[in-house]
Amino acid sequence: MEKLLEQIKKGTVWAFPGGVHPPQQKSLSNSARIARLPLPDKLVVPIKQHIGANGKLIVEKGQHVLKGQPLTAPAANWSVPVHAPSSGSIVDISSMPSAHPSALPELSIIIEPDGKDTWCDLNPTLNPSELSHDDLVDIIHQAGISGMGGAGFPTYVKADIKQPIEFLIVNAVECEPYITADDVLMREHATQVVQGIELMQQILNPTLCIVGIEDNKPEAIAAMTKAAEHNANIVIQTVPTVYPSGGEKQLIKLLTNREVPSGGIPADIGILVHNTGTLFAVQQAVYEGKPLIERVVTVTGNTIHNAGNVWALLGTEVKHLLDCQGFSPVPQQRVVMGGPMMGFTLPTVRIGVIKTTNCILAPDHKELAEPGPEKACIRCSACADACPASLLPQQLQWFAKSKEYDKLQEHNLFDCIECGACAYVCPSEIPLVQYYRVAKVEIKEQQADKIKADRAKERFDARKERLEREQQERQNRHKRKPAAKTPDEKQKVADALARVKNKSSDGDEKSAVAAAIARAKAKKQQGEELEPDNSEVTKERAQRKEQARKYKEQKAAQSESSSAPDDKKSAVAAAIARAKAKKAAQTQQSDEPQNTEDATPADDKKAAVAAAIARAKAKKAAQAQQSDEPQSTEDAAPADDKKAAVAAAIARAKAKKAAQAQQSDEPQSTEDATPADDKKAAVAAAIARAKAKKAAQAQESDEPQSTENAAPADDKKAAVAAAIARAKAKKAAKEAEQIEQLDESSSAEEQADNAKSESSEADSPEDNKKAAIAAAIARAKAKKAAKEAEQTQNVESTEQSTKKDVKADTQSEGEQTAAEKKKAAVAAAIARAKAKKLQKEGNNQS
């Protein structure tokens, strides 16, 4: 440490890597003294002019303020206030363009000066050495001082640092071309600058203070050396002119030969750096009580006639500075805030001066030419040689273009000070610094989003735990707790326990089962019956059976009395049945029956059964139609109940089997039909099956022995015989319908008279029921015969050899066809008349 101090005091300077030597152009503005400008027409004061949080507004629109009066108050960490640069009225508080390359709007206070420039009450300090550390820090904080040569870091934060400081470095290098604000300030106000240095020494108590000044500022070096003669702990050090020697890390390397670690700050190695203008503002705040409301700004460039340095009030528009210094713009004029290396072009000159504004440059086209189009990198490595931070600018640019932010951080992007040396030496005119700035912003946004997401997750987890805890508490709170026992209940429990103990002590350990057995034995000894007496239960069960039997008989009698519908309903039902049968016949006639001829023969057994059933039904229908006199049903004695039930079951089974056989024949004849015919045929088949079931139920009283004795014939003969029978039945049904239409009235009257004479002989309800059943059977058989005949039309065209074999059978049936037609029609009419008459008589009797 002593060796390092000796080297520093001897004037030893160490070199840093990289650096460039652009034209200085400082003689344009350092030859004249700092000028005072007239008050502008308005002042636009942004409430944030530093790194950190915004201050809290303490003024409002329309309020009159004095020069130096606070406009905001510190509201958070790293927050410093802003003050009124002059006395006047606040005309507006709104968003205005900011001093930034994007010119994004920022909340600003617009003051209209009154021209009096009246100060507020000031509190100067005559003897600062008597002030404590906290007092000095508070004065600096309330004065609104922030770094005036870099990013605008709040000065009070640096002053209140808790780490020990070995070296206090004053950055008076001012290495960027054109800028001479610090140079002229040190020339004219060296004493005040040294007083500011001594105040920081009082606050930080460093081992040594080093003031670094470039060797191109001899007048400033002389002025500072003279002002610091009385203080042995202040060393004025001259450094070579090279850009960017004014960078914080580069200056530390030049003066102390120490390097700030990547991602660290100078305080980590015991060093603190302040700008010349910042130290002058500290001196003004402590000795004069003045807040930071103005600063020295260099106004220069070939388009400025009176280039020089001016005292600019914070919030003064750039246009006012240019006009006061004789601005003569050229076509496509550029105005740069800052120097040519690190400055940025302003989108408008209506932007106000802020605390970090040290230069306004208005060059012409020769002085600062427009950059050409970006070309491909030729990998000359000039950017890497010029980088003062020993980075790889070419590699960083590739990562920035591809947005590989992880690799950018691995290659220490944030060590870049954005000095522009790489872009200055690039032969391809690649704007490297612009890539780095954009990438830094995006990385910071990602990090901020990640922090927000992590905080949100923490809040969510905390909320979830809280809700679960509250739910558990509610559940525990609502759990039923056992009620406190009263003294009486407690006494009862105690008595019961005592009795149990007494019993156990006496040896009486009988269980509940033993006690029950004992009680049963006692009852037996008393003569009580142990076996249950079920006589009463048996009587009640017999009574319930008798009641159920009576109820069934009564219900059957009611169903018999109500089975005969009234005349009108019977007539309507008969008409509907005839219409449905006619419609089904018409639908089935439209189908092409030739398919039956081409169809392949079905299973032998099924065909034989179907033929037998068809022949039996045809014979049965003929026998029913031949009987003109219906007295047979009246005179017939009732058969045995068991036989009738068996016969009914056999009839239902055969009817179902016949329906299945008919279903197997239907698809073969309807394959070539149209979709409409398919649908009609399906409906007709369903109706036929339903009516077949209904006819089978009505035929429960008939004897089905006819089908039992029928022996199956040969397969082909049986099929032909069934087809012929169905065709003949169809013809009989058609002729019966024609006879009904022609002779309906006459035949109905005659048959009604006959029915009256015949029904007069039958007075019992059983005869009425039999007559109704006979009529229903006749109608069902006629409809069923018609449907079967329609479905099997044109089947008669089978092989001639088969016809010869069954010709003998078919001749006898053909002779009976005419008689069967008339008999069927007459029988149907007689049955309908008898049914009507029986219904009338039943209604009259009821």
C-alpha to C-alpha distance for 595 and 31, rounded to whole angstroms: 123
- 815 found inside a domain: yes
> Does the global pTM surpass 0.95?
no
Please count the structural domains in the chain. Answer: 3
- 375 found inside a domain: no
Tell whether 315 and 180 lie within a shared domain: yes
- Which token pair is 423? 């872009």
**Domain extent at residue 724:** 569-845
Q: What is the DSSP string of 760-801?
A: HH--SHHHHHHHHHHHHHHHHHHHHHHHHHHHTTTGGGS-HH
Cα maximum dimension of the chain:
161
Tell whether 357 and 426 lie within a shared domain: no
**Residue ranges at the known binding site for [4Fe-4S] cluster:** 377, 380, 383, 387, 416, 419, 422, 426
Of 225, 219, 247, whose CA–CA distance to 237 is shortest?
225
Tell whether 336 and 392 lie within a shared domain: no
- 498 found inside a domain: no
Tell whether 438 and 323 lie within a shared domain: no
Helices (H), 507-534: 512-525
Identify the helix (H) or strand (E) that includes residue 27.
none
Tell whether 300 and 427 lie within a shared domain: no
- Which token pair is 236? 């004025």
Tell whether 421 and 337 lie within a shared domain: no
pLDDT at 558: 78
- 474 found inside a domain: no
Tell whether 181 and 231 lie within a shared domain: yes
Coil/strand/helix, residue 612 = helix
Tell whether 224 and 296 lie within a shared domain: yes
pLDDT at 631: 39
pLDDT at 546: 86
Q: What angle do CA 30, 35, 40 make, to 5 degrees?
A: 135
For the chain (846 residues), the mean pLDDT of every run of 10, in chain order, is 84 92 92 93 93 91 96 90 96 92 90 94 92 94 91 90 92 94 96 96 94 94 95 94 93 93 90 95 96 96 94 96 93 92 92 94 88 91 94 94 92 92 94 93 92 93 93 80 74 82 58 65 58 67 84 79 55 68 62 40 52 64 49 38 57 64 45 45 57 57 39 51 65 59 44 41 47 63 62 48 45 49 67 70 57
Compute how many other C-beta atoms are within 10 angstroms of the C-beta atom of residue 280.
Answer: 26
Residue 835 corresponds to which amino acid? A
**Residue ranges at the known binding site:** 377, 380, 383, 387, 416, 419, 422, 426
- Which token pair is 425? 């030496």
Where does a domain end: 424, 449, 474? 449
Where does a domain end: 419, 434, 449? 449
**Which residues are 345's β-sheet partners?**
336
CATH label of the domain that carries residue 178:
3.40.50.11540
pLDDT at 182: 95
- 546 found inside a domain: no
- Which token pair is 631? 């007295």
Compute how many other C-beta atoms are within 10 angstroms of the C-beta atom of residue 68.
Answer: 21
- 814 found inside a domain: yes
Give residue 698's Cα distance to chain centre.
67
Tell whether 352 and 402 lie within a shared domain: no
C-alpha to C-alpha distance for 650 and 711, rounded to whole angstroms: 17
C-alpha to C-alpha distance for 561 and 73, rounded to whole angstroms: 108
Tell whether 293 and 426 lie within a shared domain: no
- The DSSP code for 414 is G
Cβ-based neighbours of 423, under 8 Å, separated by 6 or more: 383, 430, 431, 432, 433
Are 272 and 158 contacting, i.e. CB atoms less than 8 angstroms apart?
A: yes
Are 73 and 83 contacting, i.e. CB atoms less than 8 angstroms apart?
A: no
Q: What is the DSSP string of 615-635?
A: HHHHHHHHHHHH---THHHHH
Are 38 and 313 contacting, i.e. CB atoms less than 8 angstroms apart?
A: no
Are 248 and 171 contacting, i.e. CB atoms less than 8 angstroms apart?
A: yes
Tell whether 202 and 319 lie within a shared domain: yes
C-alpha to C-alpha distance for 666 and 587, rounded to whole angstroms: 13
- 679 found inside a domain: yes
- 522 found inside a domain: no
Distances from the Cα of 545 to the Cα of 244, 491, 557, angstroms = 120, 58, 19
Tell whether 439 and 583 lie within a shared domain: no
